[in-house]
Amino acid sequence: MTTVNTNFLKLTANYLFVDIARKVKEFKEQNPDTKVISLGIGDVTSPLVPSVLNALHSAVDEMGEAEHFRGYGPEQGYDFLRRAIADYDYARRGLSINADDIFISDGAKSDLGNFQELFSADARVAVTDPVYPVYVDSNAMAGRNGEMKDGQWDRLLYLPVTKENGFVPELPKTRPDLIYLCYPNNPTGTVLSKDALKMWVDYALRENCVILYDSAYEAYIVDKDVPHSIYEIDGAEKVAVEFRSFSKTAGFTGLRCAYTVVPSALAVRDGKGGSVQLKSLWNRRQCTKYNGCPYIVQRAAEAVYSPEGRAEIEKVIVKYHENASRLSKAMEAMGLEVFGGVNAPYIWVHVPQGMQSWEFFNHLLHKAALVCTPGVGFGKSGEGYVRLTAFGSPSDTDEAIRRMKAL
Ligand SMILES: *Cc1c(COP(=O)(O)O)cnc(C)c1O
């Protein structure tokens, strides 16, 4: 009989969202007349903005005209979009990223999950705790994480981020090959200052590590001193890959478009005494396994960079920011410690003394018909916290706040 990749069998099912759904369903059955409001939504709710829709419509029409029809596009993405990204997201901020180093894709989740393929099977991996699960599970599938013991992988380096260390991961005692960092952070909504990010880039330069930097929430940054890109740190182009997405920036979670920057200057050991450009390997990997993001979607993404497009998406983000700010204030008024929620659509709430994540989840559900996400679901160090998201409608957010005040 054929044997499967047994690494898949070591993965524990992610019960978090299943457990939440079950508890919410039970509550609704017992309280059929109560409207349950979810503050756990990890997806945008505002529709696509007009500029994006218009670009999408015209691109669809082009596809029906013989002289404009497009078949397979470049695996790396169309030049018009790669140049718009290089100009707007980088050159405008004084960063010189070559359009040629930008790879367009159908999502940051797939790029983040796929990128580990480029590294040796015994590479050591470091992740923050709590963490976005994709980094951990994709390396587990490749057999890099060892065995699961007491809810943690024994070969994975966990970097706790808690209120005790101000949500800044400390440098590890043993050297990892790969370091996943996500800022602004999901789930905590916290950010790294330029100095903190520099500490990590300098460490990677000194120890020859690769940083896989997920900045899916870059568009939510409002504080002036928070870096938008890891390439704002000197030398980062030699050690870091940056992942970005139009999902949270412009409501593309259903449309699907993202990009990954793999700088030409980033090289790793080839196992034979020499070195090899990561970019050439990623290009090889994409050309083999991927046929590119749809033309119509790339035209829609290009429209995000038009002056009208920028103004329209800015309004949507401001609306989410306002939700976050009102939610944070309401939680603080309940006497709770609140983190994040300023440069990110996520609020990380420290639950009342002596309570655990799930107890507070039950409390909010049964006393106020509100749904949050228990922090422990994102990792051990998330115990004692819950995540709230600002992606709900303003009216639902207001109603949620009224209920919290009544608690
Ligand atoms: C939403 C999200 C992404 C974006 O994923 P897409 O596949 O581009 O939709 C990436 N990283 C994190 C941490 C996210 O929360």
Q: What does the pLDDT look like over 12-58, one tens digit per residue? A: 777 788 889 999 999 999 999 999 999 998 899 999 999 999 999 99
Pair of tokens at residue 108: 């940051």
Distance 201 CA to ligand 1 centre (A): 22
- Whole-structure pTM over 0.95, yes or no? yes
Q: Mean pLDDT of residues grouped by 10 in the chain (407 residues)?
A: 95 82 95 94 93 98 98 98 98 97 98 98 98 96 94 96 97 97 98 98 98 98 97 98 98 98 97 97 98 98 98 97 96 94 98 94 96 96 97 93 90
Domain 54-305 is found in CATH 3.40.640.10? yes
Name the nearest CA neighbour of 217 among 254, 188, 244. Answer: 244
Alpha-carbon gap, residue 372 to 398, rounded angstroms = 15
Q: Which residues contact 405 (CB under 8 A, 6 or more apart)?
A: 330, 333, 334
Task: Provide the 3-class DSSP secondary structure of residue 148.
Answer: strand
Ligand 1 contacts CB of residue 186 (under 6 A): yes
> Residue 321 half-sphere exposure, CB side, CA atoms within 13 Å?
15
pLDDT digits (tens, 9 = 90+) for 278-290: 999 999 999 999 9
> Measured in angstroms, how far is the CA atom of residue 107 from the centroid of ligand 1?
7
Whether 5 contacts 366, CB under 8 Å: no
258 lines ligand 1 (CB under 6 A): yes
> Per-residue DSSP letters for 185-253?
-TTT-----HHHHHHHHHHHHHHT-EEEEE-TTGGG--STTS-SSGGGSTTGGGTEEEEEESHHHHS-T
Q: Are 77 and 246 in contact (CB under 8 A)?
A: no
Q: Which residues have C-beta within 8 Å of that of residue 297, sequence separation ≥ 6?
A: 56, 106, 252, 255, 256, 257
Domain ranges of the chain: 6-47+308-406, 54-305
The Cα-based distances of 230 to 102, 172, 214, 249, 269 in angstroms read: 15, 19, 9, 18, 22
Using most ligand atoms within 8 A of CB, pick from 218, 220, 244, 247 the residue to mutate for ligand 1: 247
Cβ of 321 closer than 6 Å to ligand 1, yes or no, is: no
Q: Does domain 6-47+308-406 have CATH number 3.30.2130.10?
A: no
Q: Which residues pair with 339 in a beta bridge?
A: 348
Q: Which residues pair with 38 in a beta bridge?
A: 371
Beta bridge partners of 125: 178
